[in-house]
Amino acid sequence: MTDRKEFRDLASPAEAHEVVASLDLAPEPERVPLDECRGRVLAERVDADIDVPGFDRASMDGYAVRARDTFGADESDPVVLPRTGVVHAGEEPTIDVEAGECVEISTGAVMPDGADAVVPVERTHEADDGIAFEAAVAPGDSVMAAGADVAAGERALGPGTELTPREIGLLSALGVAEVPVRGTPTVGVVSTGDELVRPGEALDHRAGEIHDVNSYTIAAAVEEAGGEAVLYPHAGDDYDELARQLRTAADECDLVLSSGSTSASAVDVVYRVIEERGDLLFHGVAIKPGKPMLVGRLGGSAYVGLPGYPVSALTIFRTFVAPAIREAAGRREPERATVTGRLATGERYGQGRTRLMPVGLVTDGTGETLVYHVDKGSGATTSLVEADGVVEMDADTDYLAADEAVTVELFSPDVRPPAALCVGEDDPLFARALDAARNPRYLAEGTRSGFRRLRDGLPDVVVASGPGEPDEATEEIAAWTREWGLIVPEGNPAGVTDLADLATGDRSIVNRTTASGLRASFDAALEKSGVDPQDIRGYERTVRAHESPARAVARGDADVGLGLRASAATLGLGFVSLGTERVRVLVNPDRREKAGVETLAAALDGVAGLADDLPGYEAQ
Amino acid sequence: MTDRKEFRDLASPAEAHEVVASLDLAPEPERVPLDECRGRVLAERVDADIDVPGFDRASMDGYAVRARDTFGADESDPVVLPRTGVVHAGEEPTIDVEAGECVEISTGAVMPDGADAVVPVERTHEADDGIAFEAAVAPGDSVMAAGADVAAGERALGPGTELTPREIGLLSALGVAEVPVRGTPTVGVVSTGDELVRPGEALDHRAGEIHDVNSYTIAAAVEEAGGEAVLYPHAGDDYDELARQLRTAADECDLVLSSGSTSASAVDVVYRVIEERGDLLFHGVAIKPGKPMLVGRLGGSAYVGLPGYPVSALTIFRTFVAPAIREAAGRREPERATVTGRLATGERYGQGRTRLMPVGLVTDGTGETLVYHVDKGSGATTSLVEADGVVEMDADTDYLAADEAVTVELFSPDVRPPAALCVGEDDPLFARALDAARNPRYLAEGTRSGFRRLRDGLPDVVVASGPGEPDEATEEIAAWTREWGLIVPEGNPAGVTDLADLATGDRSIVNRTTASGLRASFDAALEKSGVDPQDIRGYERTVRAHESPARAVARGDADVGLGLRASAATLGLGFVSLGTERVRVLVNPDRREKAGVETLAAALDGVAGLADDLPGYEAQ
């Protein structure tokens, strides 16, 4: 086994870039049909092989003449010439234009011999003895000479040109049916990790199975960068099979990617195959989240091992690998898309290496950008869509203060801040209202979190339920009530009727976290009824999301769940009502005019409609 | 036949937008496999169907413990707990964590029953009787609870979300193998016009045949906008076949496009089919170049007829049709990409309708953008690649002065001004140097045009040959000589030996236009030798490009062509030398520091290498 101690020193980000750039990923150029070349890059210069147009072409509908025959003509004293024939586009002229004559001609038609100009039909009228010309023309007027557009032998498009509809138009004109383009680098994506299961297949949660996220994410990112992704079947826990797939991928692809397995044995397989076939170039970059990055050569192919967590894998891919794929495909680096903003809250970090901190954006009432750390814990996949880009924190910086100006590198130039940033109570009716808005973002962290974030000045909208009130002034743009209570198995087999039934200790409950407004309503009801929470079995077993207690009941994992009548109905469970609570949509007054807030407010005007088939909901 | 007089009034651009928007192009939504959904748009909301993670998951390598067992531990006084087992990722724990014990655990593994926290391995060391814990942890530390990322029943992604690698990652995590997406609008492209020939097939120039440019350009633009283009076979001059294809396309597609045939009968066919199956909504927009635009319904499909000239067709497509396709596909309107600049030269127009004037861009020495009209004549296909965008001139504006500030709508947000704008003499060696530069633009309009444009302050670089000198100060960055003379058929059958042989009038010549430096060298030689140009047959027959006279000789269309020894060699023709002329690459001194100019200068440092196999060339 290769001695990993060689790589105890992490590569600097600059060294990592250099090593990855030195891997030659460029495949052979190829020729593709004209109608499939969009987005590809010319491998070589294309010179014109023919004149365009290939003949002297009329560029107006009118009459082909010898220009000198029109000299002196004007509206008051037109020159009349007999019309001796007609030429349409796409036909060979059967008649010449002799001195003192004219021939009718269509746009695009071949100029008949003898003629040297076209008089547009608008400058003529029919006369008794021919066509009356109301204006003189010069030789060449309204005629495009053969080769005037592009002439045989001229350079038409240079190597490295990206082929958009415009270049495709020029290639068509030149008659180029097969286009010489840069090859598409083939990138094999090998999935490692015993715990991974393909989406669409069922998971065994007890065995710690999870869906394979990185393979699909990275494959899509490979294609976005201009590569062709090849997904290899998951090798599971068979390490010989994994070794075989790495070898096959190295034979078939220009680059092989895998994303970090947590299992040491998988890493050993990678080391073994690299040792057998190539070189290990470095292991680990001094960047968070890049420490586990591994780069090497596998025979004729290159190999990059990405970190295992999805946000880390994609960040490292974007930072180090995508530029190499674009370079190989001949694609331009996209305009580096950055925005500057100020940090909503202070951020501490001090591990002596550069950090790429995932952040979200929100536009404040004055159009300025606020930047907040998206910190859902290592391995959260929702961070993929809840972050808009990264802020690079220097190795030397261990604290960024609130309001500090930062530069955000966006995940792509298309990324825009959400139209409305909403935080607060998870609620099915509000989720429906979100569907009407374009590009909203909802952080369903609970009512208390909504209030806390409002103190930081972050959200546009807070969704609140239960007894709490925000410290800040807000404007209520919509409100409704929802019926809540105890969710029990269908038919309520244990015969739960009220809160007192929970205090006997023979039914286990699943509760909500204290951030939830519904939990606050529950606690208030307990207090009112005099039931001691300590007597409720499972009172400390809390979950974040509104439907989770009901789901625990549905799968037989608890006797009772705190939840909504609507959730019980959705899941076909029994329900013991304990009351209703008001859900309020509160807007940060500075943000009331934001277009996304307006859209949301308009959607919530129809709150009665949105509540329509949600049992226990009532518009207010 | 529909009475076209109804549409004598042109639609306003706003009316045209409204009518096109009213055509419903949206196909039914569909479900596509996860690995094919990149770039598509969600048709409906996706809620989480499972908890992610599906179990309480260790988020660090370390030891699963009961947090309370670590209370009080620190580096100087660690707590030691016996290690009773190990749990890897992807396996079901076979052991519980009892009070006072610990179990080794890998990142991603299922938390064993009994444990409520993980102590990272870095905060531990092996001790004689177990694992020594150097820090206390709280319940939940280094554990991601089931559903903490996203919980079953939560709204995960909203309708209308564009699917990038990030959203694909979240869908993978949720196990969504088939993704509900908006349908891709199918757009039939029907080619009309007798004169059109598919690229790859030979043209009959005498019959006025040209390659079909619009079908490929528009098909590529359709795909860029998110549609699927279907190219129908060219119907040629068979109008029944054209009618049949329009009907088929209308049955098979959401939208049918054709681009203006100049033949009245083709338009009649379109009218006939529209009358038979649908409605004609308008014909003609008050915009240049949109006058011939035609919009209607063809049964269940929509129909738009585009103008015939490629730049016009693409401009009208981009302005009116692409937004409707994007809307149907659910794609966002791209950020409107505009740049402001000042006009290099005055521009006159006054036809009482809005004009979308194609323009090119160049960055001056101070980084400011100069804008110039790309005016290669109607129907030029090179304008497609030589223009960067359009300037909208109001119907009321009939003159824009030089230096006036204008806003350019770029053809796409990717468009950037050329790295170096070069104008002047067409020369094969210079064309090779251009290959080394990324995104250069070369307008091979001749030496005189180079000098004229330099007076307007436009180009970065002028390529000059022959006796002329620019009025402005320039810096010469490279020079070479090229041998020129008379190109004759192979073996020189007519025995041409010098200029005097041309004056006999029995050999016809093809000359270059007066913009060419080579032409100036020719005229100077004639004057020196005392030959009267009037005695040379074909002296007035001039062509723009350097190889065109030689090509006329090659196809037997002239006895003699003015040209370069290099061109004679390329085409296997005879050559009578008349001397050498110097070709100079002159840089506008204000632009010397531009990166593109530097690249070009570096490439031209190797002028000897570039001249290598070009006969008659010598580096200087």
pLDDT per position as a tens digit, B68-88: 999 999 999 999 999 999 998
Subunit contact B158:A45, Cβ cutoff 8 A = no
Residue A606 has pLDDT above 90, yes or no: no
Alpha-carbon distance B484 to nearest alpha carbon in chain A (angstroms): 16
Alpha-carbon distance A324 to nearest alpha carbon in chain B (angstroms): 18
Q: What is the pLDDT of residue B264?
A: 58
Average pLDDT over residues A429-439: 92
Subunit contact B217:A412, Cβ cutoff 8 A = no
Subunit contact A38:B570, Cβ cutoff 8 A = no
* Stronger pLDDT, A94 or A293, i.e. the higher one: A94
Q: Are A431 and B155 in contact (CB under 8 A)?
A: yes
Chain B residues whose beta carbon lies within 8 Å of the beta carbon of residue A426 = 154
Q: What is the pLDDT of residue B8?
A: 59
**E strands of A309-382, at which residues?**
338-343, 347-348, 354-363, 369-373
Task: Give me the helix-helix angle, A214-224 and B165-173, nearest 10°.
Answer: 160
Residue B436 has pLDDT above 70, yes or no: yes
Lowest average pLDDT, out of B25-34, B219-228, B241-250, B452-461, goes to B241-250
Average pLDDT over residues B320-333: 93
Alpha-carbon distance B264 to nearest alpha carbon in chain A (angstroms): 10
Chain B residues whose beta carbon lies within 8 Å of the beta carbon of residue A212 = 172
Alpha-carbon distance B251 to nearest alpha carbon in chain A (angstroms): 23
Q: Which residue of A has its CA nearest to B169?
A: A217
How far, rounded to the nearest angstrom, does the alpha carbon of residue B337 sit from its chain's CA centroid? 14
Chain B residues whose beta carbon lies within 8 Å of the beta carbon of residue A112 = none
Structural domains of chain B sorted by starting position, each given as residue range(s) with its CATH number in brackets: 4-25+185-329 (3.40.980.10), 30-52+149-181 (3.90.105.10), 57-144 (2.170.190.11), 338-417 (2.40.340.10), 422-619 (3.40.190.290)
Q: How confident is the model at residue B193 (pLDDT cuts 50, 70, 90)?
A: confident
Phi/psi at B408 (5° precision): -105, 125
Summarised one tens digit per residue, pLDDT across range A72-94 is 999 999 999 999 999 988 899 99
Say how far apart CA A212 and CA B536 lie, in whole Å. Answer: 79
Say how far apart CA A294 and CA A291 lie, in whole Å. Answer: 9
Q: What is the pLDDT of residue A445?
A: 94
Q: What is the pLDDT of residue A264?
A: 58
Residue A456 has pLDDT above 70, yes or no: yes
Q: What is the pLDDT of residue A335?
A: 73
Say how far apart CA A77 and CA A100 lie, in whole Å. Answer: 16
Summarised one tens digit per residue, pLDDT across range B457-506 is 999 999 999 999 999 999 999 999 999 999 999 999 989 999 999 988 88
The size of chain A, in residues, is 620
Q: What is the pLDDT of residue B340?
A: 94
How high is the mean pLDDT of chain A? 92
Say how far apart CA A258 and CA A270 lie, in whole Å. Answer: 9
Q: What is the pLDDT of residue B1?
A: 35
Subunit contact A195:B89, Cβ cutoff 8 A = yes
Average pLDDT over residues B562-569: 97
Subunit contact B45:A435, Cβ cutoff 8 A = yes
Chain B residues whose beta carbon lies within 8 Å of the beta carbon of residue A552 = none
Say how far apart CA B382 and CA B142 lie, in whole Å. Answer: 62
Tell me the β-bridge partners of B45: none
Subunit contact A55:B147, Cβ cutoff 8 A = no
Q: What is the pLDDT of residue A4?
A: 42
Residue A486 has pLDDT above 60, yes or no: yes
Indicate the residue type of A272. R
The owner of tokens 């591990």 is A351
B520-546: buried (b, 16+ CB within 10 Å) or exposed (e) per residue?
bbbbebbeeeebeeeebbbbeebbbbb
Q: What is the pLDDT of residue A6?
A: 43
- pTM recorded for the entire structure: 0.91
Query: Which of A169, A210, A550 is opposite residue B54, by nearest beta carbon?
Result: A210
Summarised one tens digit per residue, pLDDT across range A212-249 is 999 999 999 999 999 999 999 887 667 788 889 999 99
Residue A411 has pLDDT above 70, yes or no: yes
Query: Which of B92, B195, B570 is opposite residue A89, by nearest beta carbon?
Result: B195
Alpha-carbon distance A217 to nearest alpha carbon in chain B (angstroms): 5
Residue A24 has pLDDT above 90, yes or no: no
Summarised one tens digit per residue, pLDDT across range B404-430 is 999 999 988 778 899 999 999 999 999
Helical (H) or strand (E) element with B486: strand B475-488
**Which residues, in sequence order, are CB contacts of A612 under 8 Å at separation 6+?**
none
Alpha-carbon distance A130 to nearest alpha carbon in chain B (angstroms): 22
Subunit contact A216:B381, Cβ cutoff 8 A = no
Subunit contact A45:B199, Cβ cutoff 8 A = no
Q: How confident is the model at residue A263 (pLDDT cuts 50, 70, 90)?
A: low
Subunit contact A148:B57, Cβ cutoff 8 A = no
Q: Which residue of A has its CA nearest to B542?
A: A145
Nearest to A157 by CA among A42, A66, A62, A75: A42
Average pLDDT over residues A320-348: 90
Subunit contact A54:B152, Cβ cutoff 8 A = no
How high is the mean pLDDT of chain B? 92
Angle made by CA atoms B291, B295, B297, in degrees to the nearest 5: 165
Query: Which of B53, B310, B545 is opposite residue A169, by nearest beta carbon?
Result: B310
* Stronger pLDDT, B382 or B378, i.e. the higher one: B382
Residue B7 has pLDDT above 80, yes or no: no
Interface test with B, best of A211, A318, A333, A518 (most B CBs within 10 A): A211
DSSP string, A106-129: -TTPBPPTT--EEEEGGGEEEETT
Summarised one tens digit per residue, pLDDT across range B124-172 is 999 999 999 999 999 999 999 999 999 999 999 999 999 999 999 999 9
Subunit contact A168:B216, Cβ cutoff 8 A = yes
Summarised one tens digit per residue, pLDDT across range B256-310 is 999 876 455 667 778 888 888 888 898 888 888 877 788 999 888 999 999 888 9
